[in-house]
Amino acid sequence: MIQLAYLIPLFPLIGFLINGLGWKSMPKQAAGFLASLMMLVSFGLSLAIFFEVKAGAADTIIPLFDFIHSGKLLIPFAFKIDALSSLFLLIITGVGFLIHVYSTSYMHEDEGVVKYFAYLNLFVFSMLLLVMGSNYLIMFIGWEGVGLCSYLLIGFWFKNRDYTNAAKKAFVMNRIGDLGFLVGMMLVLYNFSTLNYNELFAQINTNQTVLSGSTYTWVAICFFIGAMGKSAQLPLYTWLPDAMAGPTPVSALIHAATMVTAGIYMIARSSVIYNQSEFALHFIAIVGLLTAILAATIAIKQYDIKKVLAYSTVSQLGFMFLAIGCGAYTTAVFHVMTHAFFKALLFLGSGSVIHAMGGEQDIRSMGGLGKKMRITQITFLIGCVAIAGIPPFAGFFSKDEILASAFAHSPILYVAALGAALMTAFYMFRLYFLTFSGKFRGTHEQEHHLHESPAAMTFPLIVLAILATVSGFVGLPEVFSEHHSLNEFLHTAVTNFGAHHMEHNTELMLMGLSVGLVSVMIGLAYARTKSPNFVANTGLAKVLENKWYVDEFYDAVVVNPLVQFSGFLDRIIERKGIDGGVNGVGKMVRWAADRMRLLQNGQVGAYLFTMVIGIVLIFVLGLFFVNF
Amino acid sequence: MVLVLLLVIPFLVGIVSFLAKDAAKNVALFGSLISLALSIYVAAYCGTEQIAPVSYAWMPAIGAQFSLAADGMAAMLCLLTGVIFPVVLLINRHKEIPNPAAYYGLILLSQAGLMGVFLASDALLFYFFWELALIPVYFLCSTWGGERRIPVTFKFFVYTFVGSLMMLSALIYLSLQTNGVNAMSLENIMAAGKSLPAMQQHFIFWLLFVAFAIKMPIFPFHTWQPDAYEQAPTQITIILSALMVKMGVYAVMRWLIPVMPQAAQYWSELIMTLSIMGIVYASLIAMVQSNIKRLVAYSSIAHMGLMCAAAFSGTELSNHGLMVQMFNHGINITAMWVIVNMVENRYGTQDFKKMGGLASTAPGIAIALVIISFANIALPLTNGFIGEFMLFTGIFQSASQYHIVFMAVAALGIILGAVYTLSMVQKVAYGENNSGIATVAKMNAAELVAIIVLLAFIIGLGVFPQPLLDLVLVK
């Protein structure tokens, strides 16, 4: 069965080709049905393979063909199925399928729906390449492929200049990260002459190639720069909030559940490399923590329902990198999984709200929606509870594990991370209360239109809500259970750096502390939103509402100077300098030729005179330089 | 014998075109298809006895022979030439131009010259074809070009003619070092180059390098190029950018580095620095262009900079990647020009700020534009990626102590490339239609065929690059 794993990306590819080539003539409903069906088949296959791996099937390489073969460089186009990739396959195809189903209803009125499903299938195909590749180059193909799809889907409504700007920004910022990835690959190739995971990690583990620690640090940092771009970490995170310009199911699938977690996958996959460089791990921990805090502060003061969720995603990704930085790769993967469920749920829930509100995204105009849309309300609440970290919902277990690994590392990390977690609870419940409880603050027309979404949209919400509730049990903390099923499952593929064993009492105390404080935060959020009054923000609140002015800072420090410098190169150096010089030479030649022309004046006397002078000159010179 | 046909057919069909008057465009297209078939045959059988080298006495007094040979690299470039010319002749079939017989005749003469450049294994013959390829282009630019065609062609002519003379004098000097028969043959030239004393080698090296650098073009010898690309008819721009610049790279690979390996090694860091500066320089300038043809021109300078840097990095991988990239760059930039030609014809301007909305008015063209643009910025699974990846890896593995800096700075081009290419796509394809032109015509059949052929290469070689990788290595 595992040998058939290449079929998993094949089906979305077929879906893409049919919808993509038939974009003119494909009926709208058929497009959505076909795309979802392809996802369902892939999900079925992923499930079968997952259970086979879980039952103990060995790591498998599935070679397809030689992609690049030049001298000593051989890069096969091959897939690798092991515990890590099979888990990601399940998340991608599973959540992917639900979001495809959701989209059939959400997008059914859009004129570009066939194109939409083509892109969505292409995205899943690329994402599958990313996690299934057996070497870094195949990962890179998927990596850039998901970037392309993200670009196409952010700018899906291409008539809007702001949306296409957001799409461009996303691609360019990702490219900056990709440069890091590329240099990382070059370094690996240079030092190990292979990009295949198996051979590379075997070389490192068996010390066949002995390298200085700093080489590992460079490789690790370069790959992490790639992850910064794709997984929206400081300083390359500003594209993700802008990416909310895309249709909401896209935000759920690409910009919350799957693509943005590619950076986590990459580092978990490379755990062997990262374990060689403690410096790189510290660096990652700090970047992740800062991102988690910064994004959480911004989320507190956003009024766009999707922007709150976007900053929340950035912040949660920061948590995952914090876990990685603490050497707990499997914990990060655990949080990828639970986050995929509850964040997809929250985004799809927000989509349901936006749908009902006729496109309105400002939570200041919402309120009291719970009465009209019960399923959306309850599932959204489950999502909020899960992300806030209330037991026994999924987010509690994964977040608790991150906090515990931070604590084992340093209490300072723990306190800072806990602070970010508390902010998470606050802004999520602020969002929930402002949206679903209280009185409706929009127009009468909007109120008249409010309705629960159709079954194709509520069905994914319900499934995801169930997953967000129960999925935490695969990773019960030591206090409650001796078996951490996820860690046991992943341990063949991922090696954590250092192992933390915490006193059970300490662990219980920390849990109690965080749950207690989170509850206080929820109460605070309720109190603050009970009778909302939206006055213009001042002071720090205004800075937060304006996202710490980071975009303005980038524009002032990078973008504008670069454009001005380019203009200078074009107008002054290129046209006046180099081209001016060349034209000057040309003009000089013409000028000289003009003068020379006068010498040929047609008078034989003048010619004779010149000739005589010439002969005399030669004669004189000959006299002086006899040996000439 | 096939090699001779590869030259003779475009030459003869070119002559026929001169006489064919109104039928010239069909005659030329027919002839280019025969050349295509022949070049496919050469590529398929190169390295076997079917494609044996040919050699005839030509000017024995000065040691020049009429000798042709095709290894993998030459066959690949002939194949590229064979593919590009039918595409050139397919677009703009509906456009009325003055004196079509001369126009199409000159185009085919230039094709004959190009084939000769790639096949010649005699220095004088190489020079002869070099000029044969260029001279028709001067006439094509100065007669059928844009408003500023005369000064621009003059500049182009001066630049390349200075280069040609430097090359000719260097080649003659080299041939004089061998006192024997066939002084001009590649073998003898190579032997002569290696035997030169160091000082002379450096001197000859620079004569040849500047000649080839102008052709590629390499910063700072490039300023003829944006003007020429902008002013030439787009069909001629395609020939210039897809094929003629490859003459420069090819010459470096065949007539410069193997002839003077020590000098090439000696100057490699300087040349790599120039080339890589050129990548960043041209990319930055491309960012502020609003003329779509100039943007593509500067983008091409950046790409050629990378290729030249790789040529001098001295690693097998970058050499191999370079040969692959020559083909892929030729396909991609042709595809880019075909699209540029379509939008220019439809919007009546080269200023892309006055375009917009193509994705709603002519979605087919917009889709092609997006795919080709991503190939242009080397997205994986398009053909642009394979070559670039090998070039970067090769540069990274070069023996220079600055190899990491070279690679990292060169790779800035992939970020800047994304910036200017996507800005262009955004202005042309997305947003509202700013042109004031209500109906933008969809692709016609001939354009569609051209685009489909090019897209097939872009995707096909992006997914399965190995056949091309194997072809270029055939001895």
Provide φ and ψ at B184, rounded to 5°.
-90, 0
Work out how many CB contacts closer than 8 A connect A with B.
123
Residue B317 lies in a domain: yes
CB atoms within 10 A of CB A24: 8
Chain A: give the shortest CA distance to residue B272, in Å.
18
A68 to chain B: closest CA residue: B466
Mean pLDDT value across residues A220-224? 94
Summarize pLDDT for A406-451 with one digit per residue, the tens: 988 888 999 999 999 999 999 999 999 998 888 888 888 888 888 8
Mean pLDDT value across residues A8-30? 90
B196 shares its domain with B102: yes
Residues of chain B with pLDDT > 90, as a percent, come to 57
Residue B435 lies in a domain: yes
Mean pLDDT value across residues A63-69? 91
pLDDT value of position B146: 85
Does A140 touch chain B if contact means CB atoms closer than 8 Å?
yes
| Cα-only R_g, chain A | 31
Residue B75 has pLDDT above 60, yes or no: yes
Across all residues in chain A, what is the average pLDDT?
Answer: 88
pLDDT value of position B438: 73
**How many helices (H) and strands (E) would you count in chain B?**
20, 2
A494, two tokens: 């991922």
From the list B79, B108, B107, the residue with the least C-alpha distance to B12 is B108
Q: HSE-up of A621 (CA within 13 Å, CB side)?
A: 7
B243 shares its domain with B286: no
B54 shares its domain with B162: yes
Q: Which of A17, A122, A186, A572 to mutate against chain B (most B CBs within 10 Å)?
A: A186
B249 shares its domain with B312: no
From A66, A155, A570, residue closest to B430, measured CB to CB:
A155
From the list A360, A265, A285, the residue with the least C-alpha distance to A327 is A285
Does B359 touch chain A if contact means CB atoms closer than 8 Å?
yes
Chain A: give the shortest CA distance to residue B397, in Å.
7
A171 to chain B: closest CA residue: B418
Surface of B (69-98) touching A: CB under 8 A: none
Chain A: give the shortest CA distance to residue B395, in Å.
10
Surface of A (12-31) touching B: CB under 8 A: 23
Domain count, chain B: 2
Residue B229 lies in a domain: no
B243 shares its domain with B287: no
Does B432 touch chain A if contact means CB atoms closer than 8 Å?
yes
Single-letter amino acid code for the residue at A506 = T
Chain A: give the shortest CA distance to residue B67, in Å.
30
Does B223 touch chain A if contact means CB atoms closer than 8 Å?
yes
Chain A: give the shortest CA distance to residue B54, in Å.
30
Does the beta-carbon distance from B223 to A190 stay under 8 Å? no
B464 to chain A: closest CA residue: A67
Does the beta-carbon distance from A71 to B320 stay under 8 Å? yes
Q: HSE-up of B463 (CA within 13 Å, CB side)?
A: 7
Measured CA to CA, the distance from residue A288 to residue A618 in angstroms comes to 83
Residue B5 lies in a domain: yes
Measured CA to CA, the distance from residue B233 to residue B141 in angstroms comes to 7
Residue B435 has pLDDT above 80, yes or no: no
Confidence class for position B284, pLDDT limits 50, 70, 90:
very high
Summarize pLDDT for B117-157 with one digit per residue, the tens: 999 999 999 999 999 999 999 999 999 988 888 888 888 88
Structural contact between residues B416 and B284, judged by C-beta atoms closer than 8 angstroms: yes
Question: pTM to 2 decimals?
Answer: 0.92
ipTM: 0.93
Among B260, B294, B313, where does a domain finish? B260
B283 shares its domain with B301: yes
Measured CA to CA, the distance from residue B424 to residue B376 in angstroms comes to 12
Confidence class for position B186, pLDDT limits 50, 70, 90:
confident
Does the beta-carbon distance from A567 to B288 stay under 8 Å? yes
Does B353 touch chain A if contact means CB atoms closer than 8 Å?
no
Chain A: give the shortest CA distance to residue B15, in Å.
34
Which segments of B259-399 does DSSP mark as H helices, in order? 261-287, 292-311, 316-347, 358-361, 363-376, 383-396
Residue A579 with chain B: CB contacts under 8 Å: 223
B280 shares its domain with B170: no
Q: Which of A49-63, A179-193, A525-539, B235-249 has the lowest mean pLDDT?
A: A525-539
pLDDT value of position A13: 95
Residue A152 with chain B: CB contacts under 8 Å: 370
Q: Which of A64, A68, A175 to mutate against chain B (most B CBs within 10 Å)?
A: A68
Does the beta-carbon distance from B393 to A186 stay under 8 Å? yes
Residue B36 lies in a domain: yes
Does the beta-carbon distance from A145 to B381 stay under 8 Å? yes
Chain B: give the shortest CA distance to residue A4, in Å.
20
Q: Which of B223, B390, B403, B473 to mutate against chain A (most A CBs within 10 Å)?
A: B223
Does A10 touch chain B if contact means CB atoms closer than 8 Å?
no
State which H helix or E strand residue B54 sits in.
strand B54-59
Residue B233 lies in a domain: no
Does the beta-carbon distance from B393 to A65 stay under 8 Å? no
Summarize pLDDT for A310-343 with one digit per residue, the tens: 999 999 999 999 999 998 899 999 999 999 999 9
Residue B375 with chain A: CB contacts under 8 Å: none
Confidence class for position B352, pLDDT limits 50, 70, 90:
confident
B311 shares its domain with B244: no
B282 shares its domain with B245: no
Paired residues of A133 in beta bridges:
A79
B472 shares its domain with B360: yes
B48 shares its domain with B81: yes
Confidence class for position A500, pLDDT limits 50, 70, 90:
low
Contacts of residue A182, defined as CB under 8 A and 6 or more positions apart, other chains included, come to A140, B392, B411, B414
A177 to chain B: closest CA residue: B415
Residue A208 has pLDDT above 70, yes or no: no
From B281, B360, B469, residue closest to A569, measured CB to CB:
B281
Q: Which of B162, B165, B230, B288 to mutate against chain A (most A CBs within 10 Å)?
A: B288
Does A568 touch chain B if contact means CB atoms closer than 8 Å?
no
Helix (H, G, I), strand (E, B) or coil at B137: helix
Does the beta-carbon distance from B285 to A190 stay under 8 Å? no
Does the beta-carbon distance from A190 to B317 stay under 8 Å? no
Does the beta-carbon distance from B223 to A582 stay under 8 Å? yes
Residue B227 lies in a domain: no
Residue B158 with chain A: CB contacts under 8 Å: 586
Confidence class for position A209, pLDDT limits 50, 70, 90:
low
B247 shares its domain with B281: no
Residue A176 with chain B: CB contacts under 8 Å: 415
A26, two tokens: 């494909």
B65, two tokens: 């022979």
Does A186 touch chain B if contact means CB atoms closer than 8 Å?
yes
Residue A628 has pLDDT above 50, yes or no: no
From the list B150, B290, B306, the residue with the least C-alpha distance to B232 is B150
Does the beta-carbon distance from B411 to A73 stay under 8 Å? no
Summarize pLDDT for A232-284 with one digit per residue, the tens: 998 899 999 999 988 999 999 988 889 999 999 999 999 999 988 889 999 99
Region of A438 please: left (phi>0), alpha (psi -120 to 50) or beta: left
Measured CA to CA, the distance from residue B118 to residue A438 in angstroms comes to 78
Residue B225 lies in a domain: no
Domain enclosing residue B286, as ranges: 267-475
From B281, B393, B411, residue closest to A189, measured CB to CB:
B393
Chain B: give the shortest CA distance to residue A620, in Å.
31
Does B239 touch chain A if contact means CB atoms closer than 8 Å?
no
Across all residues in chain B, what is the average pLDDT?
Answer: 90
Helix (H, G, I), strand (E, B) or coil at B451: helix
3-state secondary structure A283-325: HHHHHHHHHHHHHHHHHHCCCEHHHHHHHHHHHHHHHHHHHHH
Would you give the end-to-end CA distance of chain A in angstroms? 89
Q: Which of A33-37, A505-509, B321-325 has the lowest mean pLDDT?
A: A505-509
| Residue B135: exposure state from Cβ atoms within 10 A (0-12, 13-18, ≥19) | middle
